[in-house]
A and B are shown apart, each in its own frame.
Chain A
Amino acid sequence: MTSNVMVEARSVGKTVTTFEGALTILNQVSLRVTAGESVAIVGASGSGKSTLLGILAGLDLPTSGEVILNGHILTALDEEGRAKVRAENIGFIFQSFQLLPGLTAVENVVLPLELHGIKNSRKLATDFLGRVGLEKRLHHYPQQLSGGEQQRVAIARAFASQPRILFADEPTGNLDSATGARIIDLLFELNREQGTTLILITHEDRLAARCERRIELASGEIVSA
């Protein structure tokens, strides 16, 4: 059963020091996400969602506790080691899309593939852009694309590396509701096709409702799972 666990957090805590003293952002958070599962982490602003996502994805380290991702104990690795784990396992989708303004749509998708030394990266990128319906927008720059289109490029970029786990940080946060709905459909469709584990942060109920499981955070603690 353990071999099926893709991400596991064991008693993860995160405390930061501020002018007013120590501030606990996460407290004793433990969770397990199995391969192929889709999980929504929900909660109010400041509940620690983004911090948890960062720690689960190995972008940040907890103050206490342990995170295991696809068998790698992230908390025992240095930054280079975590980068290697991310390269092999993880894809991201961000609220603000995070497309590089100087690169065209296809170049934005190609970049991580090139960085990982994947052959035929351009063809792969073109294919994925086709799958998100942007085959005619390959050579457009981000500023020439609408918000929805930009997020579709980001989705293509995330899936093109064929990650085992996809972390999405408020993927529809910057989109109107109709566009957001189309993006949600696309995300889940690709997720199903690729069999990716999906962990997303949202405060949108309809997005959370599409996930198999919902973990709710309040004041840095899991209040329902």
Chain B
Amino acid sequence: MLALRLLWRNWRSGEVKLLAAALMLAVAVVSGIAVFTERLERTLVQESNMLLGADLIVRGSQPHNPEWSAQAAEQGIEQTTAVLFSSMVYAGDHMHLASVKAVAEGYPLRGQFDISTVPFASRPDQIIRASGIPAPGEVWVDSRLLPLLHLELGESLAVGDYELKVTQVIIREPDSASPFSFMGARVLMNMADLERTQVVQPGSRVQYQWLLAADNTALTAFAAWLEPQLSKHERLVDVESDQRGLGRTLETGRNFLLLAAVIGVLLAGVAIALAARQFSSHHVDQVALMKSFGVGAQRIRQLYLTQLLLLAVLASAAGLLVGELIQRIVAESLREVYQIVLGSASFYPYVISFASGLVCLIFFALPALWFLPGVPPLKILRRELKVNAAQLWLQIALAFAAVLLLIVLFSQNLSLALSVIAAISGVLLITAGLALGLLQLTRRITTNAGSIWRLALANLQRRREQTLVQIVVFATAIMLLLTLTIVRTSLIDEWQLQLPDDAPNHFLVNIPPHDVEAVQQMLDEKQLEREQLYPMVRGRLTAINGSEITDEQRAASGVFNREANLTWTDVLGDDNRIVAGQWWNSWQRKEEGIPGVSVEAELAQEAGLVIGDRLTFSLGGLILEAEIASFRSLDWRSMKPNFFFIFEPGALDNYSPTYITSLYLPLEQKSFINDLLRRYPTMLVIELDRIIDQIRTIVTQVSNGVLLVLWLTLAGGCLVLIAAVTSSIDSRKQESGLLRALGSPRRLMIGSVWVEFSLLGGLSGIIAVIGAEILLVSLQYWVLETPIRPHYLFWLIGPLAGALLVGALGAFSCRSVVNTPPAVVLREAS
């Protein structure tokens, strides 16, 4: 095949290597990110599915239709069942309203139970991962049940009419957030024992769960088939419907990674375009020669297109390999450092990545090459003949089209793509403007500088178009790296920083009023850092100024759809601040019998509330009307008990509250929970430390991936520089040969090359730091809501690192210019 032979010869002569490298990089960036993101996403979904215990659950008040089971089995879907109910459990004279879960073999389909023979175990060596479910006749229970019932492991526990032996305590379980688990301690038993307990009778309040798991496609189809057949008592639950917050986080994370990928591709694209321009300018003569041989334009177009396609396929395949390697390295490091094993990716990201190689070629390279077949044959005789090369604006327009297409391809979201294009254009314009300004400034400053500087600046000025492209490219890459380095630390550390070391890590809930003083005393004796004990009453907001809650208000906040925790206090929490109205010490009731309430400011804004509005609450069927006295801003991340509604003291006296507080419990004192629960069996302890750990792991995981991608982006920037230098190498050689023939020392050449590129890198660094600071300030102000801090070190590191990196790279790329003897240079150039 002639095209293949021609391609091989072009490869050998080095003319397509840069093009191939840039294409490969583009595909590697895309595939690395796309495959890694999908694996991560799948893993996160699976991890969250572990919280659910399955990929999909049918929850209902009746057992599910057995025919559905047969249908599911036919499609290779894993299934099992669980029955959840509240029931009194007894041990000797003690009893507790437990949250019982009877599970069948195979439960859970996703995730595992962590169990132990040591109550409240926290050390890894005390905890084991259960390989099944409790054997018939045995139960596993929450640690807190043991002190509640004065029970030891190995002793018997009665559930209904049946006595079961307690063999393990549950440290962690999937689906811990199911409705019955909040108040009562968990008792996990084998489904085979359920009937013997005689607990579940007709009319009992029971939740039947049918758990399903399979690979996505089979399950999606099955769910679509099943959903219309469900009765109104049955509900299909997946992670997305169960945990909307996580779904959104995943989406945001994916979009962020996608942006990084697009910027990587864009940089590689610039390198591709430059390499293609260089390739085409080298091939003008070859095409003219071929035409003089009598080869027609059509044939020439076909020959070049085939070569390019072959190149794209080979480079994309290599890119896929590199991308695969990268994502595997990251995945492996995650496994080693965080013990997180990522699932495998589907075929789709590979296909997309491969396609993006073709997109890059078509949109970045082809415009520069399209005119080639139109080169007039006469060019072979008359070198001065002008050739109509592609217009720069057309190339830029096509580049944007490529980015648009790629984002749409990835996210199937046109508005996202358009806003990215707008943002990129804005950044590019501003960066280019800054770069131009700085270049002018440098020229003024160095008017009287030595010849090395003058030569270097002359080079930068003469190739102004290229210089601008390179500064923009490097500034963008360095800016992203700097920003992410900070954001990454910010996300993990600043959040931690904000949480003092002794930030509360446990919530104590459901403390009866008569135990309040004693609990306070017990905590204070231990000298534990704690918050005040807030009384708490559950109530639902039913009307505003006498009108029922509207659908818009319901949509604005979840608070309107469920019962909220209401409290009263005269002491404003540290993290609470009155933003409008007055706190109780200066507020006066307008009407006797209508107490004041302070509302959380964001909620008030979303619901359109104003000071003085009347709110109607329903508390267990009793109606309470209150007037808005103030709005409060507060920090939900403070890990302290916080409330949407705080009433004036005494307003809720008649509604039998329980109390809540939060405290910091060092790891070594964890067994204190045991004592606490033994003394106050009805109290509930929520362990936040475990949740915080999990969040930190996920954030670290994702940001590491992004950082790696940004390094690849910087590699893209380097390729652009190499491409630009290579395209100017002939004229550089000629100039250098001439200057050296005229007696300029080699030192001048080397020096000017270093100065030229270091200056380019330094300017990029300065722009990058300015950009990064603006980005960071916006992020800190609007997103992270952390205090704004300038990063002084950046102002040193950014320009310096830029100057060093780009200077060295430029000097390396130009080594043939300064190292070749002038005679050879002049002969080659002629």
Determine whether the beta carbon of B380 is less than 8 Å from that of A84.
no
Could you tell me which residues of chain A, from 47 to 81, have a CB within 8 Å of some CB in chain B? 50, 53-54, 57, 59-60, 79-80
CB contacts (< 8 Å) of B380 on chain A: these are 59, 92, 94, 98
Asked if A115 meets B293 with Cβ closer than 8 Å, knowing A102-B10, A102-B12, A102-B15, the reply is yes
Determine whether the beta carbon of A80 is less than 8 Å from that of B298.
yes
Determine whether the beta carbon of B377 is less than 8 Å from that of A59.
yes
B290-318, CB under 8 A of A: which get 1 and which 0?
11111111110000000000000000000
**Which of B286, B378, B828 lies in contact with A59, CB distance below 8 A?**
B378
CA distance A84 to B294 in the complex (A): 6
Q: For residue A112, which residue of chain B has the nearest CB?
A: B293
CA distance A79 to B285 in the complex (A): 18
- Asked if B390 CB lies within 8 Å of chain A CBs, one says no
CB contacts (< 8 Å) of A197 on chain B: these are none
Helix, strand, loop or mixed for chain A's interface? Answer: helix
A83-125, CB under 8 A of B: which get 1 and which 0?
1111110101010001011110001000110111000000000
CB distance from A222 to the nearest CB of B (A): 20
Determine whether the beta carbon of A83 is less than 8 Å from that of B296.
yes
Q: For residue A86, which residue of chain B has the nearest CB?
A: B294
Determine whether the beta carbon of A87 is less than 8 Å from that of B381.
no
Determine whether the beta carbon of A86 is less than 8 Å from that of B297.
no
CB contacts (< 8 Å) of B376 on chain A: these are 59-60
CB distance from A83 to the nearest CB of B (A): 4
**Which of B2, B296, B378, B382 lies in contact with A114, CB distance below 8 A?**
B2
Q: For residue B298, which residue of chain A has the nearest CB?
A: A80
Q: How many chain A residues touch B (Cβ–Cβ < 8 Å)?
A: 31
CB distance from B48 to the nearest CB of A (A): 56
- Asked if A161 CB lies within 8 Å of chain B CBs, one says yes
CB distance from B650 to the nearest CB of A (A): 92
CB distance from B433 to the nearest CB of A (A): 36
Could you tell me which residues of chain B, from 341 to 371, have a CB within 8 Å of some CB in chain A? none
Determine whether the beta carbon of B382 is less than 8 Å from that of A103.
no
Determine whether the beta carbon of B381 is less than 8 Å from that of A79.
no
Determine whether the beta carbon of B296 is less than 8 Å from that of A84.
yes
- Asked if A143 CB lies within 8 Å of chain B CBs, one says yes
Could you tell me which residues of chain B, from 259 to 289, have a CB within 8 Å of some CB in chain A? 285-286, 289
Determine whether the beta carbon of B296 is less than 8 Å from that of A98.
no
Determine whether the beta carbon of A85 is less than 8 Å from that of B13.
no
CB contacts (< 8 Å) of A116 on chain B: these are 293-294
- Asked if B9 CB lies within 8 Å of chain A CBs, one says yes
CB contacts (< 8 Å) of B299 on chain A: these are 115
Determine whether the beta carbon of A87 is less than 8 Å from that of B294.
yes
CB distance from B698 to the nearest CB of A (A): 52
CA distance A213 to B2 in the complex (A): 41
**Which one of B5, B295, B297 has the greatest number of beta carbons of chain A within 10 Å?**
B295
CA distance A54 to B381 in the complex (A): 7
B735-747, CB under 8 A of A: which get 1 and which 0?
0000000000000
Determine whether the beta carbon of B9 is less than 8 Å from that of A107.
yes
CA distance A10 to B510 in the complex (A): 110
- Asked if A149 CB lies within 8 Å of chain B CBs, one says no
Determine whether the beta carbon of B297 is less than 8 Å from that of A50.
no
CB distance from B817 to the nearest CB of A (A): 17
CA distance A92 to B293 in the complex (A): 8
Asked if A103 meets B13 with Cβ closer than 8 Å, knowing A83-B294, A85-B294, A87-B295, the reply is yes
Determine whether the beta carbon of B382 is less than 8 Å from that of A90.
no
**Which of A60, A79, A100 lies in contact with B296, CB distance below 8 A?**
A79
- Asked if A169 CB lies within 8 Å of chain B CBs, one says yes
CB distance from A69 to the nearest CB of B (A): 12
Determine whether the beta carbon of B293 is less than 8 Å from that of A87.
yes
CB distance from A161 to the nearest CB of B (A): 7
CA distance A90 to B2 in the complex (A): 22
CB distance from B803 to the nearest CB of A (A): 35
CA distance A92 to B377 in the complex (A): 12
CA distance A206 to B377 in the complex (A): 29
CA distance A116 to B294 in the complex (A): 9
Determine whether the beta carbon of A98 is less than 8 Å from that of B9.
no
CB distance from A124 to the nearest CB of B (A): 15
CA distance A114 to B1 in the complex (A): 10
Determine whether the beta carbon of B289 is less than 8 Å from that of A115.
no
**Which of A53, A80, A100 lies in contact with B297, CB distance below 8 A?**
A80
CA distance A86 to B377 in the complex (A): 11
CB contacts (< 8 Å) of A112 on chain B: these are 290, 293
CB contacts (< 8 Å) of A50 on chain B: these are 381-382
CB contacts (< 8 Å) of A53 on chain B: these are 381
**Which of B295, B377, B378 lies in contact with A115, CB distance below 8 A?**
B295
CB contacts (< 8 Å) of B382 on chain A: these are 50, 54
Determine whether the beta carbon of A88 is less than 8 Å from that of B378.
no
CB contacts (< 8 Å) of A85 on chain B: these are 294
CB contacts (< 8 Å) of B2 on chain A: these are 114-115
Determine whether the beta carbon of B381 is less than 8 Å from that of A90.
no
CB contacts (< 8 Å) of B286 on chain A: these are 100
Determine whether the beta carbon of B289 is less than 8 Å from that of A100.
yes
CB contacts (< 8 Å) of B12 on chain A: these are 102
CA distance A92 to B295 in the complex (A): 14
CA distance A90 to B380 in the complex (A): 14
Determine whether the beta carbon of A114 is less than 8 Å from that of B294.
no
CB distance from B290 to the nearest CB of A (A): 6
Determine whether the beta carbon of A102 is less than 8 Å from that of B297.
no
CA distance A94 to B383 in the complex (A): 12
CB distance from A104 to the nearest CB of B (A): 9
CA distance A94 to B298 in the complex (A): 25
Determine whether the beta carbon of A79 is less than 8 Å from that of B297.
yes
CB contacts (< 8 Å) of A57 on chain B: these are 292
CA distance A49 to B559 in the complex (A): 91
CA distance A79 to B299 in the complex (A): 12
CB distance from A101 to the nearest CB of B (A): 7
Asked if A143 meets B828 with Cβ closer than 8 Å, knowing A115-B295, A161-B293, the reply is yes
Q: For residue A143, which residue of chain B has the nearest CB?
A: B828
CA distance A79 to B296 in the complex (A): 7
CB contacts (< 8 Å) of A107 on chain B: these are 9
CB contacts (< 8 Å) of B9 on chain A: these are 102-103, 107
CA distance A150 to B286 in the complex (A): 16
B719-760, CB under 8 A of A: which get 1 and which 0?
000000000000000000000000000000000000000000
**Which of A79, A92, A102, A143 lies in contact with B292, CB distance below 8 A?**
A92
CB contacts (< 8 Å) of A84 on chain B: these are 294, 296
CB contacts (< 8 Å) of B293 on chain A: these are 86-87, 92, 111-112, 115-116, 161
Q: For residue A101, which residue of chain B has the nearest CB?
A: B13
**Which of A59, A83, A100, A161 lies in contact with B381, CB distance below 8 A?**
A59
Q: Which 10 A-B pairs have the closest CB atoms?
A: A102-B13, A87-B294, A86-B294, A112-B293, A83-B296, A59-B377, A59-B378, A60-B378, A80-B296, A83-B294
Can you offer 10 A-B residue contacts whose CB atoms are under 8 A?
A: A59-B291, A59-B381, A79-B296, A86-B294, A87-B295, A100-B285, A102-B14, A102-B15, A111-B290, A115-B290
A79-B297, A88-B294, A92-B292 given; 17 more Cβ-contact pairs under 8 Å:
A53-B381, A59-B376, A59-B377, A83-B296, A84-B294, A86-B294, A86-B377, A87-B295, A100-B286, A102-B14, A103-B9, A107-B9, A111-B290, A112-B293, A114-B5, A115-B2, A115-B295
